[in-house]
Structure 1
Amino acid sequence: MSHDQNFKNLILDYPRQAIEFAAASEAARLGDDVRILPLREEQLKERLGERFRELDVPLLLEWPDGHRQALLFVFEEETEPGRFSIHRLIHYCVDIAELYQTERVVPVVIFLHPGHFRESLSLGSDTRVYLHFSYLAWPLFGLKARDYFDSPNLVARLNLPNMHYAPEEKVEVYAQAVRGLRTLEPDRERQIKYLDFVDIYANLDENERQHYQQDYAEEIETMSAFADRFI
């Protein structure tokens, strides 16, 4: 399973909501007129023989009236925190900043599974620090699912199964994710597409699926896009 591809699709389909969920402090200042554009994932190489670096999801934010300089968001998905390299992320950010000739870059890292990860890096000597780097960490495993049951943010609702919850809450977490998809996404094709996302990360067993059918039977009947899953 490619978690990278799953989250790449999610962020590209819902870029504004992904930013609002993962980078709330930055999202608060964006305004309604911002335009969000995906960039090429593979960065240009200076020489043909060099190895390229690929970004999970680089996004360019622009303001049509030009009252603010463009802003770059660099989203990276890291399934296992132990495999995360802050040095690699620094390379990504510096490369894309140089390519687009900007110093306005916001790096965001999505951590799917529990684990420890380095949040900053400082390079220097006993005299001074010459380089300090940090990023916005998005550790889904550390968020309490129940805190987001009523969230109007679809990205948050779809990720409920990736958050923390007690084992006995699993079916309810799944139900709240599906309800969010039904109520917040009007497009039928996207409903079907992201029901797959919820199914993958909830991973209900047969008993849990039967439990869902029994407890949420009336709701299932109203969801024609989902009904086939439970027949």
Structure 2
Amino acid sequence: MADAVSHDQNFKNLIVDYPREALAFFAAEEAPGPEDDVHIAPVPVGAGLVPARARPAGVCETGGDEPRPYELDARASRPRSGAGSDLPSHRRARAERWLDSDNVVARVNLPNMHVTGHDRVEVYARAVSGLLEQETDGAKRAKYLDFIDIYAGLTDNELRRYRRLHPEEGSIVTGFFQRAREEGRAEGIERGIERRVRLLALKGAET
């Protein structure tokens, strides 16, 4: 049985790897500008270092009741649920707004957004192209190609159509997954490796 996807770890990694971009996407009004001299560091609430202000962002993979906002109190040991403005729901965010964004966090999250007017294959393609445009590090490319693939959840037919419509980028994606398999990489890259093997098999069937 395949291991369950750790959404919590996936998004923690994303925020730690791209803190400025994550702030700009999840809490734009709180994000520093390009000219601001700031240092961003992850601070676990459990460490007892409670900031004066906090903007929680809830990421919900499925529908249902959304989490209530938290109030942080310097006198309390942990955040507590309370009244306040609703948390942003990026499940309801329209993908069209972010299709050409230069924010890598927004682009890799396109499959998690509401899609209207564009099919899933095109949204997947825009997510992949955004990552390849904005990220040059090979390890991070592989890591977040996997992220995109997990949340897009394309069928075999959709993967075939993606490769047909975007042959150059499709070859890059396949190459990353193939190298990951050959190198025996773990911790996220091999998660779902059977799906990558299917993609490679689809490629072979087309030739």
- Structure-to-structure mapping, 1:82-101, within 5 angstroms: 99-100=48-49
Match of 1:104 in 2: 53
Report the TM-score, using the length of structure 2 for normalisation. Answer: 0.69
How has the CA–CA distance of structure 1 residues 221 and 121 changed in structure 2, closer, same or farther, with 3 Å as cutoff? closer
Match of 2:108 in 1: 158
Write 1 or 2 for the structure with the bigger share of helix.
2
- Structure-to-structure mapping, 1:58-77, within 5 angstroms: none
Deviations 1:31-56 (A, max 9, x none): 53110112246x25xxxxxxxxxxxx
- Structure-to-structure mapping, 1:80-229, within 5 angstroms: 99-100=48-49, 102-117=51-66, 119=68, 133-134=83-84, 137-166=87-116, 169-221=119-171, 225-226=175-176, 228=178
Note if 1:26 corresponds to 2:30: yes
1:140 Cα deviation (Å)? 1.8
1:15 Cα deviation (Å)? 0.9
Contact 1:192 1:225 in 2 (8 A): no
How has the CA–CA distance of structure 1 residues 175 and 121 changed in structure 2, closer, same or farther, with 3 Å as cutoff? closer
Contact 2:60 2:91 in 1 (8 A): yes
Deviations 1:46-99 (A, max 9, x none): xxxxxxxxxxxxxxxxxxxxxxxxxxxxxxxxxxxxxxxxxxxxxxxxxxxxx3
3-state SS of paired residue (2:24): helix
Write 1 or 2 for the structure with the bigger share of strand.
1
How has the CA–CA distance of structure 1 residues 137 and 121 changed in structure 2, closer, same or farther, with 3 Å as cutoff? closer
Note if 1:2 corresponds to 2:6: yes
Contact 1:158 1:180 in 2 (8 A): yes
1:116 Cα deviation (Å)? 3.5
Where in structure 2 are there 5+ consecutive unaligned residues?
72-81, 179-195, 201-207
Taking the aligned partners of 1:21 and 1:210, their CA distance within structure 2 comes to 31
Match of 1:14 in 2: 18
How has the CA–CA distance of structure 1 residues 134 and 28 changed in structure 2, closer, same or farther, with 3 Å as cutoff? farther
Taking the aligned partners of 2:69 and 2:173, their CA distance within structure 1 comes to 45
Match of 1:48 in 2: none
1:12 Cα deviation (Å)? 0.8
Taking the aligned partners of 1:134 and 1:144, their CA distance within structure 2 comes to 24
Match of 1:52 in 2: none
Contact 2:19 2:40 in 1 (8 A): yes
Taking the aligned partners of 2:150 and 2:131, their CA distance within structure 1 comes to 14
CA RMSD of aligned residues (A): 3.0
3-state SS of paired residue (1:104): coil
How has the CA–CA distance of structure 1 residues 213 and 121 changed in structure 2, closer, same or farther, with 3 Å as cutoff? closer
Taking the aligned partners of 1:118 and 1:38, their CA distance within structure 2 comes to 21
Q: Percent identity?
A: 41
One-letter amino acid of the counterpart of residue 161, structure 1: P
Larger radius of gyration, structure 1 or 2? Answer: 1
Where in structure 1 are there 5+ consecutive unaligned residues?
45-98, 123-131
